[in-house]
Amino acid sequence: MNHERAATPRAARRTGSRALAAALVATALALLPAPAAHADSIRAQQWALDALHTDEAWRTTKGEGITVAVLDTGVDGSHPDLEGRVLAGKDFIGFGAGKGDRAWARHGTAMAGIIAGHGNGPGRADGVVGIAPEAKILPVRVILEGGDPARKRARSTRGNALAQGIRWAADHGADVINLSLGDDSKSAHPEPAEDAAVQYALAKGAVVVASAGNSGEDGDHISYPAAYPGVIAVAAVDSSGTHASFSTSRWYATVSAPGVDVIIADPDRRYYEGWGTSAASAFVSGAAALVRSAHPDLTPAQVKKLLADTARNAPEGGRDDDRGYGFVDPAAAIEAGGKLRPAGLRPTPAPHGKKYFGAGPGPLRDADEPAGWLAPAVGGIGVLLLAGSVALWRTSRPAAPRHFH
């Protein structure tokens, strides 16, 4: 399952108390208002931008011409940090919370902000800036928020949403597909339709990125879709580059990225600080967007190898299950990519066999439950990444404390 931790504002140090998500199906989380802070403090707390050497990468590109599909709970395209960046997308759920409801597009908006936020206000000096601020976001709703009353219904009726969403994104111009979701429960297993959809997207030229999973303190269960062949699976580290204890350690980890104390935007126009491998996946999707923008003819396999080969702070021996090949470095990947010759796409391979690897955020299910509800349930897990966070800043007065399930 995806484990998300409650955080305090970076201005004040975190306490030792942490909210641990139990089952994907029943996890309580609190959103607490923080003391009013000037908007500039939000940008100052985006440590990930410095760690990822974005200023160096941006000398070449900021992601112009690239579309990143965010398969999630929806994206609020009217958010000041995303306005003008969000394309018309697709809803494969068809019901549940709608725009304006609290249980709508929170997780998806946060991921989109990490990828392509451009800030707001005079000179865009306020708000969140993403790693690829000139990329476009293609929102594809394939899961529901944890607090959406319709989530249970979605589990039983929209089991193919994730596979459908991946194929749709690949057919509608996605250069990169971000999957900040997954199933890393004890009963997690590969779904042939999802595997085939991933292989289809890769063959169409889309880079596929997924969170490695948040079961690091609960057994390091293999997670899907991170485990499918060809996927860039992303583990989480903190600002010192240390493996996050909640981040799943498995042999499929490709690279690591910021996943602790990450500043995220929310449809309520507040900013929150949260952590999980969902955020790490979004950062690497942004990094992949920069590489694709600079070198549009490279194949997904070449982009994956580039990010792995140029990763910084590689573990002893070159790779380990905690951090993959090291901390993703988009600037280094862009430079190295200039020396490559495009390999050309290969025909779509048959779905993978019985040997799988991987781990991503997803829901628990009973042994007798059908696999069909897997994809929508996965959404509940990914959502928990942001839910256990604290509000840092808002343009208006703080709201009263809220408690969600």
What residues are labeled active site? 72, 107, 278
Strand order in the sheet with 262-265: 262-265, 270-274, 390-394
Distance CA 184, CA 202 (A): 23
Backbone angles phi, psi at 349, to 5 degrees: -75, 165
Strands 270-274 and 29-31, by their bridges, are: unpaired
Kindly write down the DSSP assignment for every residue of 351-398, as one continuous string: PP-S------------TTS-GGGHHHHHHHHHHHHHHS-EEEEESSPP
Distance CA 216, CA 246 (A): 4
CA distance readout (Å), 299 to 68, 175, 306, 337:
15, 10, 10, 11
Strands 67-72 and 176-179, by their bridges, are: parallel
Report the 10 Å Cβ neighbour count for 352: 18
Question: Could you give the residue ranges of the DSSP H alpha helices within 187-236?
Answer: 192-203
Report the 10 Å Cβ neighbour count for 219: 12
Distance CA 24, CA 183 (A): 9
Distance CA 311, CA 364 (A): 33
Report the 10 Å Cβ neighbour count for 316: 6
Distance CA 117, CA 48 (A): 13
Beta strands of 160-212 (E only): which ranges? 176-179, 207-211
DSSP annotation of 83 reads: T
Cβ neighbourhood burial of 338 (10 Å; 0-12, 13-18, 19+): exposed
Distance CA 178, CA 157 (A): 23
| β-bridge partners, 271 | 265, 393
